[in-house]
Amino acid sequence: MKRVIFLLLLLSTTAQAQKLRRLVSYRDSTNTVVREVYSALVSPADTIMEGPYKRFYRSGKVEAQTSYAGGKRDSAYVEFFENGQRRLEVTFKQGLRQGPFKTYYATGKLAQEGTYANDQPDGTLKTYHPSGAIKLETSLVNGQPVGAVRELYPSGKPKVETTYKNGQANGPTKTYHPNGQLQSESTYNNGLLAGPYKTYFDNGQLESEVIIDKAGKGTQKSYYRSGKLRTEGNYVAAALQTRRVTNPLGDDLTKGAAPVPALLTSMARQKRTMKVEP
C-alpha cells in the first residue's frame, strides 16, 4: 500500500513540475516588441513546445503560425509577408514536412509548388515567374532531379533543357538566349562533359567550342563575333556544377542534401574551366 501511495505522489509531483504555460519572447530588451507567442510544457529540466505557435514582425503583424506536439511541428505551417499575403504553406507531421507545399510572391501570385515525402522534395516541382508564367518544371525522387529539366524565360521561350539521372547531368544539354537563339549545346555523362561543347552569340555565330577525347582532355577555342579566332588552349574535364533547389523566397528545400535540381541559369564565361555557375 505504501508503494502505491509513493507512486501516486511521484506522478503527482511530476505533473505539477511540468506545467503547460503560455510563453512570450521579445525582440527588444524592454520587452515591448513581441517576437513569439507559444505554449510549452515547462519543467526545471526542460521546455517542450506544445500547442499553438505564432511569430510576429516588429509591426505586430503575424509572420508565421503553426502548432507543436511533443516539441515538434505537427500541423499546417504558414508564413506571411508583412502585407498579410501568404509566403509559404506546408504541412508538418511529427517534425517532418509531408505532402503538398506552395510558396508565393508578395503580390499573392504562386511562386512554387511541389510535394514533400519524409522531409524531402519528391514528385513534380514547378516554379513560376512573377507574371504567373511557368519558369521551371522537373521531377524529383528523394530530393534528386530525375529526367528532363526545363527552364523557361517569362516569354515562354526555352532557357535551359537538360536531363538528370542520380542527381547529375546525363545526356544532351542546351541553353538559349532570350531571343530564342541557341546559346550552348553539350552532352554530359555523370556530370562530366562527354562530347563537343559549343556556345553561340545571340546572332547564331559560334562563340566557343571544346573538342575532347575519350579521356576527357582536349582543346578549346573562342571567337570574336566577326568569326575570327580569339583564344586557343587546352581543356581539362570539370564536373557540371549544380545548385540546390531553393524557392524564390530563400527557403532551402534540400536542407543541405545533395544538389537538387540544377536550375542551369547561365553558362560561365570562363571557357577554360567549362564550369556552370552555381
| Domains of the chain, residue spans | 18-105, 109-278
Mean pLDDT of all residues belonging to the chain? 81
Q: Give pLDDT, residue 17.
A: 62
Query: Is 74 in contact with 97 (CB distance < 8 Å)?
Result: no
Q: Give pLDDT, residue 237.
A: 61
**Residue type at 82?**
E
Q: Which residue has the higher pLDDT, 119 or 11?
A: 119
Distance of alpha carbon 159 from alpha carbon 176, whole angstroms: 5
Question: What is the rounded radius of gyration, in angstroms, for the C-alpha atoms of the chain?
Answer: 26
Q: Give pLDDT, residue 245.
A: 44
Burial track 125-158 (b if 16+ CB lie within 10 A, e otherwise): bebbbeeeeebbbbbbeebbbbeebebbbeeeee
Distance of alpha carbon 237 from alpha carbon 66, whole angstroms: 48
According to CATH, what is the number of the domain 109-278?
A: 3.90.930
Q: What is the DSSP string of 153-165?
A: -TTS-EEEEEEEE
Distance of alpha carbon 126 from alpha carbon 6, whole angstroms: 60
Q: Is the per-residue pLDDT at 23 higher than 80?
A: yes
Distance of alpha carbon 106 from alpha carbon 90, whole angstroms: 17
pLDDT in tens, 85-94: 999 999 999 9
H or E element: which one contains 76?
A: strand 76-80
pLDDT in tens, 93-130: 999 999 999 999 999 999 999 999 999 999 999 999 99
State percent of the chain over pLDDT 70. 78
Q: Give pLDDT, residue 214.
A: 73
Distance of alpha carbon 65 from alpha carbon 53, whole angstroms: 6
Alpha-carbon dihedral sign for residues 177, 181, 183, 188? positive
Find the mean pLDDT for residues 42-47. Answer: 90
pLDDT in tens, 196-242: 899 999 999 999 998 887 776 788 899 999 999 999 988 776 555 44
